[in-house]
Structure 1
Amino acid sequence: MQSLVHMPPCEAMIAENLAAIRARIAAAAVRAGRDPASVALIAVSKTQPRDAVLAACAAGQVLFGENRVQEAAQKFPVPGARLHIIGGLQTNKVLEAVRLADSIDSLDRPRLSDAIAAAAEKTGRLPELLVQVNIGDEPQKAGVATADADAFIRATRLRFGTALKGLMCIPPAGRDPLPFFHHMVGLADTHGLSVRSMGMSGDFEVAVAAGATHVRVGTAVFGARPRPAEA
């Protein structure tokens, strides 16, 4: 596996980027007639060094998203920060994820539910949970199929109760994301779920207009991801 070349994070740049993204989120909310405080920013810190996370925290950032549990464990916990696991989660990584994360946002299959329940019993803690919906029914993407989403959401709520907070999705690339965001908001409304994590760097303003409560932004906050080291 290739190692990564980490450049020292620029605290001023990260603070400026965060301020710019927050301003865009607020403006999108106001245009949609929403309270800007109703939309939270998850700073996606995957492949970034811990120092970048600390710099973001110093600028007031609280929520962070990581794709891989093993990488997240090298940076977190961080005082005052909350960690969301946003990438596909393998069952053999669930125990560490349950110990480390404040929220697991990629619950998408019964076997993963089984593993989370077992890990919660073993550790005595249960993170908040989001069901990931494959909102475009794309075969290459993770997430529960839209045809199965209602049944899976009901089963998840029955099993985990109030730990189930909402839904997460990634719309198909290259297509208008708005219909997919509306679909997910409708699904969340049907099940009385308040959290809708949707929207990334290229479409978060559209997601805010559609009703996102959380948007996930990475490179626009931290800059380019570290490059692989040369052999």
Structure 2
Amino acid sequence: MAIKDNVERIKETVAKSAEKAGRNLEEIIILGASKTQPAEKIIEAYRAGIRYFGENRVQEGIKKIEELKELKDIHWHLIGGLQTNKAKYAVRYFELIHSLDRESLADELDKRAGKVGKKQDVLIEVNVGEEETKYGVKPDRLKYLFEYSLQKKNLNIQGLMCIPPYFEDKEKSRPYFVMLRKMKEELEREFGVKLLHLSMGMSHDFDVAVEEGATIVRIGTAIFGERK
């Protein structure tokens, strides 16, 4: 029953954080970050009410998507960095790709989506901490990449994603979440668009992310337990 209990606790925390920020709970998606988790654990989370799952690696994700295709109303997102040569598989299997971070990937996703007659939903990943070890466009290049990607007829930019630097004190993540929200608001103003999503917050800081406007929180350990 552990996963079911974990999901209930997370739902309560999200509800409290949304209320604190005066937000509508309905606009917040709890996404199970299911990297390395077996299908059985995903089924447990599904039975506990989780309908969105995020995979880091394309091939691992495809295997699970095929294995669990009988589950109704299940949504699969790609939340890990994406190599250009895997784009053709990503557009076939994933509803939302969180990790668009360069023009060459926008080109490839656009091309591959066009070939399968799909308009691919994407988020632009921003490297808010400007860390060398992380994916994401640097903040000062976001506007250029956004405008570039906006012109691609087979891409639908739905918002932004970030993974801030890790801090034991989750309050230290807050400025990065604020930064991403402000970037979204600035893009909306400048380009006259409405961006639906801010994908931010993980197991240790998702409550803070919800307070700062997250619409998708990516939760692995707090749902599934520590990875083996």
Counterpart position of 1:17: 6
Which stretch of the first structure deviates more once superposed, 172-181 or 112-121?
A: 172-181
Distance 1:161 1:194 in 2: 18
Q: Please name the residue that 1:183 is paired with.
A: 179
1:229 aligns to what?
A: none
CA gap 1:40/1:122 in 2 versus in 1, 3 angstroms: same
The answer to whether residue 57 in structure 2 is matched with residue 68 in structure 1 is: yes
| SS of the residue 1:83 aligns to | strand
Identity of aligned residues (%): 40
Q: For residues 13 and 125 of structure 1, what CA distance do their matches in structure 2 show?
A: 38
List aligned pairs for 1:1-231, cutoff 5 A: 12-77=1-66, 78=69, 79=71, 80-160=73-153, 163-174=156-167, 176-192=172-188, 193-226=195-228
- Secondary structure of 2:175's match? helix
**Which residue identity lines up with residue 142 of structure 2 in the other structure?**
A
* Amino acid in structure 2 at the alignment position of 1:86: I
What is the RMSD computed on CA atoms of the aligned residues? 1.4
In structure 2, the gaps of 5 or more residues are: 189-194
- Aligned-residue offset at 1:70: 0.6
* 2:160–2:197 CA contact under 8 A, matched in 1: yes
Q: Residue 64 of structure 2: SS of its match in structure 1? A: coil
Once the 2 structures are TM-superposed, how far is the Cα of residue 38 of structure 1 from its aligned partner?
2.1
* Structure 1 residue 180 displacement after superposition: 1.0
Contact 2:123 2:157 in 1 (8 A): yes
SS of 1:76's equivalent in the other structure is helix
Q: CA 1:179/1:75 → structure 2, altered by over 3 Å: closer, same or farther?
A: same
Structure 1 position 161, deviation (Å):
7.1
Answer yes or no: is the 8 Å Cα contact 1:68–1:85 preserved in 2.
Answer: yes
For structure 1, the 5+ residue unaligned runs are 1-11, 227-231
Matches of 2:133 and 2:6, distance apart in 1: 31
Residue 45 of structure 1 and its aligned partner are, at CA, apart by: 0.5
The structural deviation recorded for 1:105 is: 0.4
Work out the CA distance in 2 between the residues paired with 1:162 and 1:118: 9
Which position in structure 2 is the counterpart of 1:5? none
Under a length normalisation based on structure 2, what TM-score does the superposition of the two structures give? 0.90
Cα distance between partner residues in 2 of 1:111 and 1:85: 18
| CA-CA distance at 1:123 after TM superposition | 1.6
Q: Report what 1:7 is aligned to.
A: none
Residues of 2 paired with 1:160 and 1:189: CA distance?
Answer: 23
Following superposition, which runs of at least 4 residues in structure 1 exceed 2 angstroms of deviation? none
TM superposition shift of 1:127: 2.8
Are 1:43 and 1:218, in contact at CA under 8 Å, matched by a contact in 2?
yes
Deviates more, 1:76-85 or 1:128-137: 76-85
Contact 2:119–2:155 at 8 Å: present in 1 too?
no
- Structure 2 distance, partners of 1:127, 1:49, is 27
